[in-house]
Every structure is written in C-alpha cells, then in structure tokens.
Structure 1
Amino acid sequence: MFEVYITKAGKYLPNKAVLNDDMESFLGLINQATSKARRIILRNNKIQSRYYALDHDGKSTHTNAELTKNAIQELFDENFSGDDVELISCGTSTPDIFLPSHAAMVHGLLKNKPVELNSSTGVCCAGMNSLKFGFLSIKAGNTNNAVCTGSERVSLWMIADKFEQEVLNLKSLEEQPIIAFKKDFLRWMLSDGAGAFLLENKPRGPISLKIEWMEGYSYAHELETCMYAGGEKQEDGSIKPWSDYNPDEWLNQSIFSIKQDVKLLDAYILEKGAQSMRDALAKNKVSSDEIDYFLPHVSSHYFVEGLHKSLAEKGMDIPREKWFMNLARVGNVGSASIYLALEELMNSGKLNKGDKVLLSVPESGRFSYSYAYLTVC
C-alpha cells in the first residue's frame, strides 16, 4: 500500500463576488416581487458574498465542466502538466447534462491524453467521494497520481425564469403565485465554483498533506430524503421521479428545481453529524484533542453553534479557534466547498509540519457524512 499526499490545490470562482443586495439582480424576481424569505435566510447563514457563473442578464458565462477545467489548470506548472495526469475524478451535484458523465466532459475540455475517469454524484459529499476514489487508486498502486475535484454551477437552476411557468400555473388555478419555501430557501444559500486537488504518492513542494484516512457514513436506511431535485416528495416520504411526471408537469411544478425539507434538516443534520464523526474518530483511534485545524463544511452559520455543542456533548469539544471556515466569503458551493476551504488554508501560511487537519462534510440529501484526516508534511 502506498502513501497518498495532496501536493497542490487549485480553485476557480467565476466572475466578480456578488454581494447580498445584488443577488436578485442576477437571479431575477419571481412574479416581479422581492423574496420575503431572502433577508431572513441571509441573516441566518451570514454569507456576505458568493460567485455566480452568470452575467447581469442572467445568462451563463461558464458551464460546470468549464469551471472544473479552470480549477484543474491551476494545478499545472513546470513540474506537472496535463500530460502527467493518470486519473481524473470529479464530483458534483449539478452536472451540465445527464450523459455523458461530468468527468468525461471535463476531460474533453482538458484535451490532454487518455486517462481513467470517475464521476461521483450526490450532494455535498460528491466532492469527498471523488477524493476518496483518487485516494484509494493511489493507495492501491493503480495510479501514481490523481486529479480530484468538486464543483457546482447551481445558479442557472435558481434564476427566476425557471419558476415562471409554475407561477403562471398557480395564477390560472387562482392560487397565490408564491414559490414554496423549500424551493425559495435554497436560492439564497447556494453558489458556483470549483476546487481541485492533485494527489500523488510522494510529497512535493513546500506544503503537502498526507491523507491518513477517509471515512463515509450514510443514514438513508433510516431517514427519508431531505434535499432533492428532479422529483417531488410524496405524503409517505417517498420521491416520485421526474420520469413519472408528464412533460407539462415538469414546468408547472418546477420538478427540476432543488428543494430541501427544512424541518427534516433541523431535526437530524447535527445529530447524525456528531454521531458519524465520533464513530470515524473512534474507528481510527484519533482524539479530538489531536486536531489542529477543523474544517467543517456547513451550509449556514446558523448551524455552527449547534454543531459545536453537539460535538462537545459526544466528547469532541474542538475549540472554535481551531475551526477554519470561509463560508461568508465564498458562499455555500456544495461539493466544492471543502476544496475551497482547504485550498485557502494550504495557501494561508498558517500550517506547520506535523499539524493535523480534519475535513468534515455533511450532505442533507439523505443524510450522508464524509471525513478525511490529514497530516501536514
């Protein structure tokens, strides 16, 4: 078995940062009315700026594949080029198309050479799952290196035009033309961007991070779906898929919009997060006292104090000064968020050899959690 190191990190955030008061100028107004939920949601999530692959007319400036390619190109230098890549592993919640895979579309843009590909789907854990595929490939000696990514281009899913037909349908039924909170909520939470890691079987450069272990946990066997797209939740908690709806219903009910069951999120996201992290640390015989930097991906600052409390209650009281987060500056970029946070930490000058770093990524899709434990070398 080989050792595995993150030897370089890259990122790509499209266009200029979008401040809170400018969001609706990019995403548009639904039914020509300012969202009543927007200010409340922004006050709770404490996000101050984010990035959109959009222009001021709501038109696309980049595809997801282009965002990912741009992040990967940040990994290349005089010592490592696209022709040196052996594996490309890409994770995203928002691929540009259903088929071919996201990794294949990224590879098509890189135009380097034949490589092995992997595409990870899901929600926020998709980026960590793509990282784990690269980690295991190098660990087993299948490849000497891997490029792993997390990326999202969700803004095009949230522009007002995507909800116009549903609003018209509600009006025709003489109902209030107000988009359900489960859809409007996420318009003020999510943003675009991509991050990339270069993994190798030897350390390189001034800072490398040895991946000691990775763990993942799903609670789908006991909990129903919380965050979803391409379907609609039924009374019994099951999801009726888009393919079981008529094409006119896709528009009239905004079937392809991203939705979240906020009550379910509040009930379980912290409880299962603390439980899974306790199990991951115990399995690998790591005490929370050994962690020098804790990088939790949280969708909103609303959850930060609750997460701190939940972890402490299970014997993992990590002081807040050890937490490293950039949510307020770059927004919630889903599967890319953990890449963007670690890239910033790696380039901050704060890390010292021997420091231990824990990455923690929850996913509310059906409640999954991923962890990675790193040593600075």
Structure 2
Amino acid sequence: MNFILRGFGHYAPEKVLTNADLEKIVDTSDEWITSRTGIKERHIAADDECTSDMGYEAAQKALAQAGIKPEELTHIICGTFTPDSMIPSTACRIQEKLGIKGQMCLDVQAACSGYLYALQSARGYLCLEPDSKILVVTSEVVSRRMNWEDRATCVLFGDAAGATVMTSGDTADGPHVVDVMLAADGSLGDLLTVNGGGSAYSYKLGEAIGPEYFVEFKGREVFKHAVRNMTDMCESILERNGLTKADVNVLIPHQANLRIIDAVGRRFDIPEERIFTNIARYGNTSAASVPVALSEALETGFVNKGDLVLIPTFGGGFTWGSALIQF
C-alpha cells in the first residue's frame, strides 16, 4: 500500500518574542541564545489562543491543499504534549472546530517525536481501512509550560501547529511515505520532564504551582542522546530500504537546537545546503516542528518533486524516530 500525503499546512501565532524581548524578562542576551541555539525569535500564542485553535488553522490549510472537505475525513490524530485539557482530547476539539462529527479522534503524546508517532499511527489505520482519509495534526502551546524565570529553558521554545492529510493511493498522486521507524527508552525519561499535573505528582485545590509543572531538562545529556539516536535511526532506515546517504536529497530534522542539527548533519555527511532549518524564526515547537518545516520547505521550493527527504526526530520520553518521504 502507498501512503499518500495529499496536503500540508502550518500556522504560527501572530505574536513574536525576540531575543531582545527576552533580555528584558530573564538574565540572557541575544548573543548567548543565538550562539548556543541558533534561535532569534519564536511565536507565542495569544492569551485566548489554545492548542486546538492553532491545530484548526493548520488543518484548514492542509485540507484545502489536499482538496478534501472536513466531512470526508475518517480519522483525526493529534500529536501534542500541551493539550487543551486532559478531557476532552485536543483531536475532539479540532473536530468540533471543523464542524464535523463521527470521525475517530485520538491524541498521541510523544513530545517532540509526536509527528512521526502520529504519522505512523495513520499508516496503521490505513492498513486496516484503506479508504480512510486521515488528518494528522501536531500543535503545541509550549509557552504555557515554560518557567519564564528559568533562562535555560524559556529561550528555547515557541508555539506553532502543523497538519498533514494522508490517504492511500498511487505514488503519482503526490508525496508518499516510504518508511517510518520509531523507538523509545523510558529509563531516560527523567532527563526531560513536565511532571506537574500527572498522577504520580499529587496536588490539591489551592496549592501553589511549582517548577515541576514546567519543562525541566538536563541539556548536555539530552544533546548527547539526541545526536546519537537521530543519527543511528537515519542509518537504520536507509539500510532497511536498501538506500545510502547519497540517495538523500534533503534532510529535515526536528528543529530543537542548531547545534544538534549541525551535529546530525556532520555525522550523516549531509552538507548544510541540503538541510532545511527554520529554528531561527520558530525555536523548538516540539511536535509541531517537523510538519511546520515540511510545509515551509514545500512552500519555499526547498523540496521539489522527485526529492527523497529524510526526517529524524527526538523528544522527551525519550522517544525518537526517522522517516523517509518521496516527493
């Protein structure tokens, strides 16, 4: 079966928070942030804007590009670690905003690997029900999970959403997913966490919110595991498909940190001009990172028909994966 990607869309909030703006909030500087992360600015959701709002905007664009009406959808899969609420799911909220009913709706939580986990889930549903039309949305309001007094984390993240419409079909119908590989190692989970609000951390009405409710991580350890696992998974997926590094036209990695992206590119022998990055303008948008980059790469002509695109990702859990998409 061929897994066709019929439409892409992305959305970022109107508000932009620059490094200069952050200098007024925490003890940091544009030079410090840029030299260590490659980030110059990030988008921040409006006070009345939530994860499903952004996902809806991205979904509309993907559906329009695909030429598919919302009521034709059979499944909605949303990847996020910043849902609107615990119940209902964000996928259900997006369905409501699309004005439709009856579709299977599901949230997937794999942090920054959320898009590939959601994409692989969509492939599974298509194998069971080949006539399905599946909307994959990844949307994150990471700013609501930021400790704005912690300069090590608050400079890294931004808010955005990306969406993809997937169906079965002929490879002539559009870009198609060649393969996806996923992995995880829960024993390393404590290196990147948002613990507050979970059942392992009890809380009572009226209690103060502590740092455990926000993103906490050990940067050096995360960096080391991210580079190694993303590179290894890229090599594995190419080997499984009888391909080599020379067959890859474009690398679109998770936009976590420019140093990580550069390290993966060097270890994988991919020149800078074949690596798509937009981290300078968005920061790390977690699960939204890859689909936003994919959508922009297509929109700007960075990716063209015939290109084989390799997508590595890494996130909290730890989770990681890679995908091959033939355009």
The alignment's TM-score, normalised by the length of structure 2, stands at 0.90
| Alignment pair present for 1:324 and 2:324 | no
Residues 14 and 44 in structure 2, CA contact (< 8 A), matched pair in contact too = yes
Task: Show the counterpart of 2:180.
Answer: 214
| Alignment pair present for 1:71 and 2:58 | yes
How many angstroms apart in 1 are the aligned matches of 2:30 and 2:109?
28
Task: Show the counterpart of 2:103.
Answer: 115
Q: Secondary structure at the match of 1:242?
A: coil
How many angstroms apart in 1 are the aligned matches of 2:4 and 2:196?
39
How many angstroms apart in 2 are the aligned matches of 1:241 and 1:250?
17
Q: Secondary structure at the match of 2:156?
A: coil
Task: Show the counterpart of 1:43.
Answer: 35
204 and 69 in structure 1: CA distance in 2 versus 1, 3 angstrom threshold: farther
Q: Secondary structure at the match of 1:14?
A: coil
How many angstroms apart in 1 are the aligned matches of 2:285 and 2:170?
28
| Alignment pair present for 1:198 and 2:168 | no
Q: What does residue range 1-377 of structure 1 map to in structure 2 within 5 Å?
A: 2-23=1-22, 29=25, 34-36=26-28, 40-54=32-46, 60-77=47-64, 79-158=67-146, 160=148, 183-202=150-169, 208-221=174-187, 223-231=188-196, 241-243=200-202, 251=209, 253-309=210-266, 311=267, 316-363=268-315, 365-376=316-327
User: How many percent of aligned residue pairs carry the same amino acid?
Assistant: 21
How many angstroms apart in 1 are the aligned matches of 2:269 and 2:218?
29
How many angstroms apart in 2 are the aligned matches of 1:140 and 1:305?
39
Task: Report how far residue 188 of structure 1 moved.
Answer: 0.5
219 and 294 in structure 1: CA distance in 2 versus 1, 3 angstrom threshold: same
Task: Report how far residue 359 of structure 1 moved.
Answer: 1.2
Q: Secondary structure at the match of 1:241?
A: coil
Q: Secondary structure at the match of 1:17?
A: strand
Q: Secondary structure at the match of 2:186?
A: coil
Deviations 1:165-198 (A, max 9, x none): xxxxxxxxxxxxxx5xxx4322100011101001
Q: Secondary structure at the match of 2:145?
A: helix
Q: Which amino acid counterpart does residue 139 of structure 2 have in structure 1?
A: S
The alignment's TM-score, normalised by the length of structure 1, stands at 0.79
Root-mean-square deviation over aligned CA pairs: 2.6
353 and 42 in structure 1: CA distance in 2 versus 1, 3 angstrom threshold: closer
Q: Which amino acid counterpart does residue 367 of structure 1 have in structure 2?
A: F
Q: Which amino acid counterpart does residue 151 of structure 1 have in structure 2?
A: S
How many angstroms apart in 2 are the aligned matches of 1:106 and 1:115?
11
How many angstroms apart in 2 are the aligned matches of 1:299 and 1:343?
17
Task: Report how far residue 44 of structure 1 moved.
Answer: 1.3
Q: Which amino acid counterpart does residue 369 of structure 1 have in structure 2?
A: W
224 and 332 in structure 1: CA distance in 2 versus 1, 3 angstrom threshold: closer
Deviations 1:309-345 (A, max 9, x none): 3x3xxxx422222111111122211100100110011
Q: Which amino acid counterpart does residue 194 of structure 2 have in structure 1?
A: A
184 and 248 in structure 1: CA distance in 2 versus 1, 3 angstrom threshold: farther
Deviations 1:238-287 (A, max 9, x none): x99322x5667652x32211111123213322122222222222222221
Task: Report how far residue 51 of structure 1 moved.
Answer: 0.8
- Bigger Rg over Cα: 1
Structure 2, unmatched stretches of 5+, are none
Residues 145 and 215 in structure 2, CA contact (< 8 A), matched pair in contact too = yes
Q: Secondary structure at the match of 1:266?
A: helix
Q: Which amino acid counterpart does residue 53 of structure 1 have in structure 2?
A: A
Residues paired across the two proteins, number: 326
Structure 1, unmatched stretches of 5+, are 55-59, 161-178, 233-238
How many angstroms apart in 1 are the aligned matches of 2:22 and 2:123?
37
Task: Report how far residue 52 of structure 1 moved.
Answer: 0.7
Task: Report how far residue 81 of structure 1 moved.
Answer: 1.1
328 and 140 in structure 1: CA distance in 2 versus 1, 3 angstrom threshold: same
Q: Which amino acid counterpart does residue 279 of structure 2 have in structure 1?
A: L
Moved more, 93-102 or 6-15: 93-102
Q: Secondary structure at the match of 1:197?
A: strand
